[in-house]
Amino acid sequence: MSAQLLTYIFVGLSFALYIGIAIWSRAGSTKEFYVAGGGVHPVANGMATAADWMSAASFISMAGIVAFAGYDGSVYLMGWTGGYVLLALLLAPYLRKFGKFTVPDFIGDRYYSKAARLVAVVCLIVISFTYVAGQMRGVGVVFSRFLDVNIEMGVLIGMGVVFFYAVLGGMKGITYTQVAQYCVLIFAFMVPAVFLSFMVTGNPIPMLAIGSEVGDTGMTVLQRLDQSLVDLGFGKYTEGTKSTIDVFAITMALMVGTAGLPHVIVRFFTVPKVSDARKSAGYALVFIALLYVTVPAVASIGRLNFINTVNETSYDGSALAAETTPDFFKSYEDIGLYAYEDKNGDGIIQYGPGAAFQGGKPQFTGDRGPLGNRLTSNADPAVANEVYADRDTLVLVNPEMANLPAWVIALMAAGGIAAALSTAAGLLLVISSAVSHDLLKKTVMPTITDKQELWAARGAAVVAIGIAGYFGINPPGFVAQVVALAFGLAACSLFPAIMMGIFTKRMNKEGAIAGMVAGLLFTILYIGTFKFGWFGDIPNTADNWLFGISPEGIGTIGMVINFATAFTVAAFTAKTPEDVKAMVEQIRVPSGAGAAHTH
């Protein structure tokens, strides 16, 4: 069977499974819609949390980031996994004991303020839409490549599937769908990793592959990759370029940003007991780590295979003529993710440092040159590099590049779609919950019934899916850039407010609101200055950064500003009411191993 037919079968069966689960687990109340009825087993919740977190960015893009950034890419591995340690120890059990549905619900009640709730809602919606636009675009890219449809149609199909099980099933449907999606995506990620590891090193355990010898070269994967990159003019893969303080700041921002992401936090409201919240965070860390400890091997082997496949020298040392350009390269070229231009007319591909095309990305004319490559109007002849490769596609490309069996390629397609859909559904539910519960029920229309609130939640989910689909089809130019902004927003706004709400009885509403606003403004202005040029063309370089910290890590400083502002304002304003202090004390009572307290 062809890879195309197998892809249709694998993806179709996975969709049938997801929709079947949604019908089986249809939500009948707001509690089921928001928190799956609060009865999810910790292991199942750990799987669902892992699927919620391992989005298209983690599944599809993570290995690409590490492959092309090398040692510098390790900050993402450390930050995104380390955040779950913070969740398990500092947030999950206490938030579960509080017994509410949403993060703004906690912030609004803890700080006895509708204004605090509204600030939290704004943060939540901005963070969630930033993510969900990228997820829907990821769905479009995967469908475009593997199902032979255009990106727009891929996004529309993804919207339809998410609409069905998110709107119908709510958190209950999403939770059990995400359990299935985790199984699909982790199997889809690990199987090609085992194949690649064994083919290149003879070692079937990917986690150990980067230290294993490549063939009979006498060099490990990392040593061979270092040598290959240096020969091509790149820096060593194992040497970083970031300063220590920037590495620390980025890692910290990613960690506290992870711990402050609303679609992740809400997962810990779905378990029966407080102790189960801590357990499910531990299970989630294990399930996530299974993918993340495999990423370095997938990235390094993938980069080595890419060099040896598309560059002028193949594994056996012979010249790679243009007519033998790999099929995978041409298929990805058709959707604008790969391209090359034979600048020197020697008939072979030259891969090296620098952007092959002005602006980094090729602009296709639609015509093909005599060597099969698309002619472009913006190639930069001053740069020796002739290859453009979209870094986010390395995981998708790996099986085809290594000529793995067709069923592995089809499995990868199903896994990539599962990863994108699982996170998109979780984010959309968070948005709908914030609108129906925190804006309508708690602020604008407090007298609406449970049934009316449920319909409002479903309606908000429909609108959110429509907006997400629009940005997936027509992505704003900054979608790829604002990944750091999403983490920065979570790190500098929600995380400090939650931490102080749990562990500081004297933090009042004035301090919390001032802290969130100050942290938000600083982070947004800093990222806007260097990423989007809001205040003129200021170079995005270490010489101009505050303390040498890049925009990706500035959420750490925003967090510090939030804490400092909050405590300063709280010291000069009215004290926290005694009943709120008693509530905080009750949240922290360690008897939480029993039934969750609700009020």
Asked whether 177 and 187 are in contact (CB, 8 A), the reply is no
Among positive and negative, which fits the CA dihedral 333, 8, 190, 187? Answer: positive
pLDDT at residue 172 in the model = 65
Which range, 151-165, 415-429, 442-456, 521-535, has the best average confidence (pLDDT)? 521-535
pLDDT at residue 15 in the model = 78
What distance in Å separates the CA atoms of residue 555 and residue 573, rounded to the nearest whole number? 26
Question: pLDDT category, 513, cuts 50, 70, 90?
Answer: very high
Determine the residue type at 547.
F
Strands 387-389 and 338-340: antiparallel
What residue has token string 């449809």? 149
Span 73-81, mean pLDDT? 83
- List of residues 6+ apart from 320 with CB closer than 8 A: 309, 310, 311, 312, 313, 314, 348, 349
Span 445-467, mean pLDDT? 80
Confidence check: pLDDT of 526 > 50:
yes
Which range, 113-117, 321-325, 332-336, has the best average confidence (pLDDT)? 113-117
Give the percent of the chain with pLDDT over 70: 85
Confidence check: pLDDT of 367 > 70:
no
Question: pLDDT category, 399, cuts 50, 70, 90?
Answer: confident
| Higher-confidence position of 190 and 60 | 190
What residue has token string 């990159």? 229
What distance in Å separates the CA atoms of residue 553 and residue 252, rounded to the nearest whole number? 7
3-class secondary structure per residue, 111-141? CCCHHHHHHHHHHHHHHHHHHHHHHHHHHHH
Question: pLDDT category, 557, cuts 50, 70, 90?
Answer: very high
Span 480-484, mean pLDDT? 55
Confidence check: pLDDT of 316 > 50:
no
Span 293-300, mean pLDDT? 91
Confidence check: pLDDT of 312 > 50:
yes
pLDDT at residue 168 in the model = 62
pLDDT tens digits, residue range 170-217?
A: 666 677 778 888 888 898 899 999 999 999 888 899 988 888 888 777
- Residue 235 is classified by DSSP as P
What distance in Å separates the CA atoms of residue 47 and residue 53, rounded to the nearest whole number? 10
pLDDT tens digits, residue range 10-27?
A: 888 887 887 787 677 665
Confidence check: pLDDT of 39 > 90:
no
Which helix H or strand E contains 340, and what residues bound it? strand 338-340
- Residue 316 is classified by DSSP as T
Confidence check: pLDDT of 466 > 50:
yes
Nearest of 333, 355, 432, 336 to residue 137 by alpha carbon: 336
pLDDT at residue 512 in the model = 95
Give the percent of the chain with pLDDT over 90: 15
What residue has token string 């998708």? 396
Question: pLDDT category, 595, cuts 50, 70, 90?
Answer: very low
- Determine the straight-line distance between the first and last CA of the chain, rounded to whole angstroms: 58
Asked whether 86 and 254 are in contact (CB, 8 A), the reply is no
Question: pLDDT category, 36, cuts 50, 70, 90?
Answer: low
| Backbone φ, ψ for residue 357 (5° rounding) | -130, 150
pLDDT at residue 372 in the model = 58
pLDDT at residue 563 in the model = 96
- For 280, half-sphere exposure in the C-beta direction (CA atoms, 13 angstrom radius) is 34
Arithmetic mean of pLDDT over the chain: 79
Which range, 54-63, 172-181, 384-393, 403-412, has the best average confidence (pLDDT)? 403-412
| Higher-confidence position of 280 and 337 | 280
Question: pLDDT category, 396, cuts 50, 70, 90?
Answer: confident
pLDDT at residue 596 in the model = 44
| Backbone φ, ψ for residue 573 (5° rounding) | -125, 180
Q: Give DSSP secondary structure letters for 3-48.
A: HHHHHHHHHHHHHHHHHHHHHHT---SHHHHHHGGG---HHHHHHH
Determine the residue type at 467.
I
Alpha helices in 205-273 (DSSP H): 206-209, 221-232, 244-259, 262-265
Question: pLDDT category, 169, cuts 50, 70, 90?
Answer: low
